[in-house]
Structure formats: C-alpha cells, structure tokens
Amino acid sequence: LAAAKRAGRVRVPTHVVSSICDDRGEEPTYNGVSMSELMQGDATVADAIGLLWFKRRLPGYATKFIEMCVVLCADHGPCVSGAHNTIVTARAGKDLISSLVSGLLTIGPRFGGAIDGAAQYFKEAVDEGWEPDEFVEKMKKRGIRVPGIGHRIKSKDNRDKRVELLQRYARTHFPSTRYLDYAVEVEGYTLQKAANLVLNVDGCIVGMFTKVEIDSIVKIGYLNGLFVLARTIGLIGHCLDQKRLGQPLYRHPWDDVLYTK
C-alpha cells in the first residue's frame, strides 16, 4: 500500500486492505483461483484452507495431513471445557452460534491451544541446536512446561491413539520428519521423568512441519486455527445433540461448590 501511495497509483488510500479472496468479478476467487477451477479440480476442504490461510496450493501429502488433523481433533467428548460450555449454552435455549462461540472462547493456553506454543519452543530448540535433554532442562529452569508434552490421562503404556496414527502417516508420506524426530526424542527424555509426559496431539502436529513452514507458522500463528476449525465441528455437534435430546437448563449442583472467603 505504502508503495502504491508513493507511486501515486492510489490517490485516496482505502481504509481496508485484503489479500485472500476477491469477490468483485464474475465469481469469487480464493487467492486467485476461481470457484469453477476449484470445483473442476475436486478441491477438498484442505485445499480451501491452503488457499485462504497459507495463500498457496498445498501439496497432496500436506492437504491429506490437514484433513487427518481436522478429523482427529474434531471432538474429544462432552467433558472438556469447550464442549461443556457449548452444552451449557445450548441448554440455556440459545442459538447455534452463541452456543458454538461460548465453547470456542475456552480454547487457549490450557485447552487445545498449545500447538502454537509447541511450534515456537521446538523451533527455538532446533534452531539453537539444543539436545532434547538440554531443551527440557532449560525449559524447567525457565519454569515453563514443555508445550506438546504431557496428558492428564494418557501415559507411556496407554498412548493416545491419535498421536500414533498421525506419526505413522508422517513417517510414510512426508519428505522430512525432522521436528517429529526431535519431538520423539524429547518425549523419550520426559518419559523417564514421569509416565504421563508423553508426546500429545499438539506436539505431534507441530512435529509434522518442515523448518521453512515452522518459521512462518511461528510468526503468524496458523496452527491454533487448525484446532479451532476442527473443534468447531465437534462443538456444533454438541449443540445439535443437546437440542435433539431436549435437555433443560443446566445449573451446577450447589454441593459441588466450595463457598469460601
């Protein structure tokens, strides 16, 4: 824009600048690709994500991997913060969007939002050339839990199936699994500390990307977007489910609250 203004190309600077989708012509285009082209090319949801988020056509193994992530992260039962808040709002008689949104807002550092954090720290560790054990100990000194490691229920002998499935796909199809290998080594070290310090879904997803990708991912924060999109499917599902079941207003039971000073 600055350049355009200087060049005198734009006399009245617009108040909005946008680059992903142009709706002015015959048909809307996603990063320059028209609807007809998309349909003729049998575009999938992941292709649309590639064009609208990453602004390019992603290779087949990447779109397939994105679809797997979306399917695997779509839901994780009614007890987690997100589903719970959506259920409570749906039971208060509110519309689909209010219910969805009330749940989405719980996604963050403690629930579902560890992916970007994991990307950031793993990148730093690999960039700096830290050994896995060195990395874990450095994080400990800083007082930060390694994002991407640890699970409340899963453990060494009761692995998270989703992590196994993603890993298997990556090892078979990906040109490189550098971060993944690193992440697995980190897990090897943390598992010596406690049985539940396994590589979790967030950490595993990060492991899938290449160095170049991770760099731009860390700068912008794409990865939480993936979790948010995936879980939107589950939250909408929970809202529809409660409406179908005709559930009444939720009130948390008094005797489950400690009223303190």
Ligand X SMILES: CC(C)(COP(=O)(O)OP(=O)(O)OC[C@H]1O[C@@H](n2cnc3c(N)ncnc32)[C@H](O)[C@@H]1OP(=O)(O)O)[C@@H](O)C(=O)NCCC(=O)NCCS
Measured CA to CA in angstroms, residue 91 lies from 82, 234, 248 at distances of 14, 16, 5
The answer for 199, left when phi > 0, alpha when psi is -120 to 50, beta otherwise, is beta
- CA 140 from centre of chain: 25
The answer for 150, left when phi > 0, alpha when psi is -120 to 50, beta otherwise, is left
Q: Tell the smallest beta-carbon distance from residue 237 to its own copies (Å).
A: 3
Q: Tell the smallest beta-carbon distance from residue 222 to ligand X (Å).
A: 17
Three-class SS of residue 11? coil
Residue 94 found at the interface with its own copies (CB under 8 A)? yes
- Say which entry of ligand X, its own copies, none residue 148 contacts (CB below 5 to 8 A, set by partner kind): ligand X
- Say which entry of ligand X, its own copies, none residue 15 contacts (CB below 5 to 8 A, set by partner kind): its own copies
Residue 39 found at the interface with its own copies (CB under 8 A)? yes
Q: Tell the smallest beta-carbon distance from residue 61 to ligand X (Å).
A: 24
- Say which entry of ligand X, its own copies, none residue 16 contacts (CB below 5 to 8 A, set by partner kind): its own copies
Spatial CB neighbours of 212, under 8 Å, sequence gap ≥ 6: none
Per CB under 6 A, residues contacting ligand X are 114, 145-152, 190, 194, 196-197, 200, 202
Q: Tell the smallest beta-carbon distance from residue 147 to ligand X (Å).
A: 4
